[in-house]
Structure 1
Amino acid sequence: MLQTLPRSKTLSGAAYLERGEGAETLVLIHGVGMRIEAWQPQIDRLANDFRVVAVDLPGHGFSDPLEGAPELPVYVEWFRRFLEDIKAGPVNVAGHSMGALIAGGIVATAPEQLRRVALLNGVHRRGSEARKAVEARAREIGSGNFDRVAPLTRWFSENEEGTEAYRLVRELLQAVDPVGYALAYKAFASGDAVYAHCWPKVECPALFLTGDGDLNSTGAMARDMAAAARRGRAVVIEGHRHMVNLTAPEEVNRALADWLASS
């Protein structure tokens, strides 16, 4: 059974968890269909040294939905307001998948609010075939008639199907609000190039991490973004796919700790 972590809520309706009392703040943004609980291994480890804040995306978990048909910049603006609401000052931001697109958006539009930025399993300038596939999935989800757990075959290998990580992600996908999921997935499908140009101007340390088996957020994408960023570093973890923060938590936590130690 899904164990719900305790949350607070901002006046603007964003649900979040806060743990730890370090001098610096690390803010975690999950991907489409997930929620705060998908960051459990990172919260448990990094809260020993940092103030860790994890937030539910709009229409996910316990956060209020956005109005209309929001594109990626609306999610980025929502996240900017969230940072103001929690009064954290310059923060470290790590995003996974859709959260990585938001992290890229905030460093592009409000760099003064960030100390460091990390994109886990982030997409960057999809090819035409990948774009067609993700847009088709967005239309399917938007229709309301879709298989909630279809991503599992892409996100996990066959030998991971009996793991705790697999069971957790399956439960989260089954629990997600379909409207919030559809809105966020549409923004995710069209958002991979919106802020792709920003990296040569980014001054802060930037980590780009993925699994070598992630066919959508590829190692090549991570390396391209790292090469474009002034202080970029790519980490590609062998033998893992899209949910690498859950399937290889120790390796991911080490990479995040190294990134957080960079000056």
Structure 2
Amino acid sequence: MTWTTRPRSDHATLSAITAGQGATVVFIHGVGLRAEAWGAQLDALSPHYRVVAVDMPGHGGSALPAGELNLVDYTDAIATGIDGPVMVVGHSMGAMIALDMAIRYPEKVRGVVALNAIFRRRPDAAEAVQARAASLDGVSMADPHGTLERWFGTDASPERDACHGWLTDVNPAGYKAAYTIFAHQDGPDADDLTDLTCPALFMTGADEPNSTPAMSQAMAALAPKGRAEIIEGAAHMMPMTHAADVNAALLDFAKEIWP
């Protein structure tokens, strides 16, 4: 598919792509991306549900608020625009936000899906991601080559090209704010996961070196209604590179929470 820019509507103070009718599925992208990263999922789910893909603060069409931000600020900005129980789906940092929303706003979340979510990074991995965050100046964007190689390897693809465009176009201050939060988070609190009341699906790629299968399996084991699914041959950008597998899992999960 092509990853072209789509029309936006308002989601509280944020910008969002909205389509379809019925029960609502909210999508939250990762650092440096934008709502269009969910293009394949929007196309697959909008014939059956109302889909809302938000631009995180400082990304896409969403402004970056003044002052120092924390993870809860991102969650609250999205939750403010949600009226009733939704299925919330997040990828990477978006998965952190989705889980935080399910934990702190249980009345607004009927089910949560965390794609490529981190949980208890290895010390060397934590040091590396925090060093990358510290190198950002918030004024100019660094060459995205290293990020793209971590996500896609060295092979050229339309998905890689789309991410290159988003990473070079993102607000540098918005990227720094989000990446700094992402780098210093270590996943949800274990006690919060054990208290999670809604169904929870944790998915990642078998070839994912950072948001590893073991992390998803550990979180799923803690959540009372949790389960893990690992996609063979996939890595970090599996919503784009393995869209058919991700879409099938999301549709099955939606049918479970809305029989």
TM-score (structure 2 length as normaliser): 0.94
Q: Which residue of 204, 207, 216 corresponds with 1:213? A: 207
Rate the CA distance shift 1:232–1:5 in 2: closer, same or farther, 3 A.
same
1:14: which partner in 2? 14
User: Identity of counterpart residues, as a percentage?
Assistant: 42
* Superposed displacement of residue 238, structure 1: 1.2
Q: For 2:226 and 2:196, how far apart are their aligned partners in 1?
A: 9
Instruction: Please say if 1:173 is aligned against 2:132.
Output: no
Alignment: residue pair count: 255
Rate the CA distance shift 1:19–1:119 in 2: closer, same or farther, 3 A.
same
1:4: which partner in 2? 5
CA contact (8 A) 1:56 1:63 kept: yes
Q: For 1:70 and 1:222, how far apart are their aligned partners in 2?
A: 26
Unaligned runs of 5+ in 2: none
Q: For 1:16 and 1:141, how far apart are their aligned partners in 2?
A: 26
CA contact (8 A) 2:13 2:77 kept: no
Rate the CA distance shift 1:27–1:187 in 2: closer, same or farther, 3 A.
same
CA contact (8 A) 1:14 1:64 kept: yes
1:153: which partner in 2? 149
Unaligned runs of 5+ in 1: none
SS at match of 1:151: helix
Counterpart residue type for residue 164 of structure 1: P
SS at match of 1:108: helix
Matching of residues 109-188 of structure 1 within 5 Å: 109-142=104-137, 144=139, 146-158=142-154, 161-188=155-182
Q: Which residue of 234, 239, 245 corresponds with 2:239? A: 245
SS at match of 1:241: coil
Q: For 2:16 and 2:190, how far apart are their aligned partners in 1?
A: 27
Matching of residues 15-30 of structure 1 within 5 Å: 15-22=15-22, 24-30=23-29
Counterpart residue type for residue 122 of structure 2: G
Matching of residues 51-90 of structure 1 within 5 Å: 51-83=50-82, 87=83, 89-90=84-85
Q: For 2:56 and 2:190, how far apart are their aligned partners in 1?
A: 21
Matching of residues 20-59 of structure 1 within 5 Å: 20-22=20-22, 24-59=23-58
After superposition, what is the alpha-carbon deviation per residue over 1:100-144, rounded to whole angstroms, capped at 9, x for unaligned?
000111111111111100000111111211110110011112365
Rate the CA distance shift 1:142–1:125 in 2: closer, same or farther, 3 A.
farther
Q: For 1:82 and 1:195, how far apart are their aligned partners in 2?
A: 25
Counterpart residue type for residue 122 of structure 1: A
Q: For 2:116 and 2:192, how far apart are their aligned partners in 1?
A: 18
* Superposed displacement of residue 194, structure 1: 5.0
Counterpart residue type for residue 190 of structure 1: H
Over the residues paired in the alignment, what is the CA RMSD in angstroms? 1.6
Q: For 2:135 and 2:190, how far apart are their aligned partners in 1?
A: 26
Runs of 4+ in 1 over 4 A off after TM superposition: none
* Superposed displacement of residue 165, structure 1: 1.1
Instruction: Please say if 1:199 is aligned against 2:198.
Output: no
Which range moved further: 73-82 or 246-255? 73-82
Q: For 1:100 and 1:153, how far apart are their aligned partners in 2?
A: 21
Q: For 2:138 and 2:171, how far apart are their aligned partners in 1?
A: 14
